[in-house]
Amino acid sequence: MEPAVAASAAAAKISVRDASKAFHRARSDETVEALRGVSLDIADHTFVSLVGPSGCGKTTLLRMLNGLIKPDSGTVLVNGKPPEPGPAMSFVFQSFRLIPWATVRGNVAFGLEVNGIPKKEARDVADHYLALVGLSKFARAYPTELSGGMKQRVALARALATEPEILLMDEPFASIDAQTRELMQIELMRIWARQRGVVVFVTHSVDEAVLLSDQVVLMGPRPGRIVEVLDVDLPRPRWEYNVRADPRFIDMRTRLWTHIREMVMSDPDSEFFRRNAGT
Ligand SMILES: Nc1ncnc2c1ncn2[C@@H]1O[C@H](COP(=O)(O)OP(=O)(O)O)[C@@H](O)[C@H]1O
Ligand SMILES: [Mg+2]
């Protein structure tokens, strides 16, 4: 299968070739093909979003990119090598994974100290990123004292603070209220405009994907696969004009939505129906 994005494999920062991954569910004795034959090249300095119905393998693909999950077959290369967790990559998990016994500042500084940054400097950098996500006043608070949205912002600050070459984000704004979410989207665009690494961003929001990305990768379930890759050639910086009113923006979101709706409606086994049937 041809790679879904037209960047040559040699030039790609991230290169996935024909990757497949199945999970066996012991309880129901089913095998789920989380991903089948996925190929994707991501060039350096690009912002890529993964969208698609629940259960189409977005999280699995993201975890494959940083080596948390190995494909059953196929290859994943980052900078030409199999991926391994390290300072070049940061991951913002769906479930924030904060250290409960460390303060907010401690949580953000932790990753820096692990990378060998002296304590004082790590604290200063942590404070800078906490200010960016609007949490300066909570630097001394503990995670249990925070709302879900605030925890998610701490997780974001922690991931950004190490200024990684590759930032992998799994629905990082899912539990943030709509207003804060818009501010965080702009903040993320500003940070990325400055650092210009690779961001791979999983979201349920088609609007968010189009707003932020250079490319939107639409995935489909059963088996999890790439359906289409859209190039988003809207001018940047996108926070300086009403990008949502641009006819190209509207066309892309409509196209993605129509596809997703068709996939969900034509799949009676979809997790959407399972959830709504209460099983
Ligand atoms: N560790 C696991 N064990 C069993 N099944 C899994 C596991 N991880 C994911 N799956 C299944 O693989 C499919 C893809 O999951 P996932 O990558 O989490 O999808 P998404 O993030 O798009 O919602 C789903 O059907 C999910 O239930
Ligand atoms: Mg997921």
State the Cα–Cα distance between residues 151 and 154, nearest whole angstrom. 5
Mean pLDDT, consecutive 10-residue stretches, the chain (279 aa), reads 53 94 91 97 97 95 94 96 87 87 97 92 96 94 93 91 93 87 90 91 96 98 95 95 96 96 85 60
pLDDT of residue 9: 55
Regarding the beta carbon of 176 and ligand 1, being less than 6 Å apart is answered no
Nearest residue (CA) to ligand 1, atom 20 = 55
Complete DSSP assignment for 180-204: HHHHHHHHHHHHHHHH--EEEEE-S
Angle at 190 between CA 45 and CA 161, to 5 degrees: 80
State the Cα–Cα distance between residues 171 and 167, nearest whole angstrom. 12
pLDDT of residue 268: 77
Angle at 89 between CA 106 and CA 47, to 5 degrees: 115
Residue 109 in contact with residue 125, Cβ under 8 Å?
yes
pLDDT of residue 235: 96
What burial class does residue 92 get, using C-beta atoms within 10 Å of its C-beta: 0-12 exposed, 13-18 middle, 19+ buried? buried
216 CA distance to ligand 2 centroid (A)? 16
Domains of the chain: 1-88+165-263 (3.40.50.300), 98-163 (no CATH)
pLDDT of residue 269: 75
pLDDT of residue 163: 87
Length of the chain: 279
Give the 3-state secondary structure percentages of the chain, helix then strand then coil, rounded to 5: 40, 25, 35
pLDDT of residue 276: 61
- Of the bound ligands, which one is closest to the alpha carbon of residue 63? 1
pLDDT of residue 85: 77
58 CA distance to ligand 2 centroid (A)? 6
pLDDT of residue 6: 47
Residue 23 in contact with residue 34, Cβ under 8 Å?
yes
- Of the bound ligands, which one is closest to the alpha carbon of residue 52? 1
pLDDT of residue 279: 43
Its pTM stands at 0.91
Across the strands, what pairs with 215? 48, 231
pLDDT of residue 267: 83
